[in-house]
Structure 1
Amino acid sequence: MSGTRANSTSFKPGYRSRSWVPIGTERVTSMGYLQRKVTDTGRAADDWAAVHVLNWEAENGPIPAGYLLVFRDGDRTNVVLDNLELISRGELLKRNSVHRYPPELRQVIWLKGALVRKINANHQ
């Protein structure tokens, strides 16, 4: 097939995909985040931005390295500033791991893990 011009003539100048939408359009991702189209480069990763990040940066400037935004009420589509909280990755770890539980419960969780590992080791 060498010498054919199939790709150079596949799309006419000015062609837009059926899925094209104008700048400013909003969508909800499969993970539940609200995104807004901010550019029209044709590369989805560059064209869409999270609305909660846009709102935060408009009011407070860029998010510092090592920090991220969390939703106070857990609703990823509730992007008002009162619902956003800037926290460090370390704080996020504390909130979402065994460290958030009281010491007694942490010990029980660790002991259960050790017991499960022993049982699994005996069955192999």
Structure 2
Amino acid sequence: MAIGTVKRNETRSKDRPNRAPIVVVKQAERKWKPNHRRVWEEAYGPIPKGYKTVFLDGNSLNFSITNLALVTDAEFLIMNEKHLISSDKQVTRSGIELARLLSKTHQIKRRKRKNERS
């Protein structure tokens, strides 16, 4: 199936103004799941709470498992704040690593400040 092709039991969400379309897949009656999450879970199992999948090339219609990465909510926030998501997969992968480093540095600083107060 070509990138961006919508299957019969899929739909594109229309309530996302100024954002890329997201494809959702029907799981059961009145239960829908984003297709990129379904693809990730088929390959690697359930996505833990506090994590999300990102599209490495920025194309929300490219569901290839090689185009998806799993990041924490904190890492995703850093990636958005620092503009570390690119249309180039390698640049986005580097952005993920930088976000992980910054997130870990922030955690260590918080722990250190907390221990100084105690």
TM-score calculated relative to the size of structure 2 = 0.55
Answering whether residue 35 of structure 2 is matched by residue 51 of structure 1, we say yes
Greater RCO, 1 or 2 (C-alpha within 8 Å, sep 6+): 2
Answering whether residue 46 of structure 2 is matched by residue 62 of structure 1, we say yes
Q: 1:89 aligns with which of 73, 77, 85?
A: 73
4+ runs deviating over 2 angstroms: none
Task: Output the CA distance in 2 between the equivalents of 1:76 and 1:28.
Answer: 11
- Gap regions ≥5 residues in structure 2: 1-7, 85-118
2:99 — aligned with what? none
- Once the two structures are TM-superposed, the CA of residue 28 in structure 1 deviates from its matched residue by 1.2
- Once the two structures are TM-superposed, the CA of residue 34 in structure 1 deviates from its matched residue by 0.9
1:16 — aligned with what? none
Task: Output the CA distance in 2 between the equivalents of 1:33 and 1:99.
Answer: 20
Q: What is the number of residues matched between the two proteins?
A: 72
Letter in 2 for 1:49: K
Answering whether residue 57 of structure 2 is matched by residue 73 of structure 1, we say yes
Give aligned-pair identity as a percent: 35
TM-score calculated relative to the size of structure 1 = 0.52
Q: Which has the larger radius of gyration?
A: 1
Letter in 2 for 1:39: A
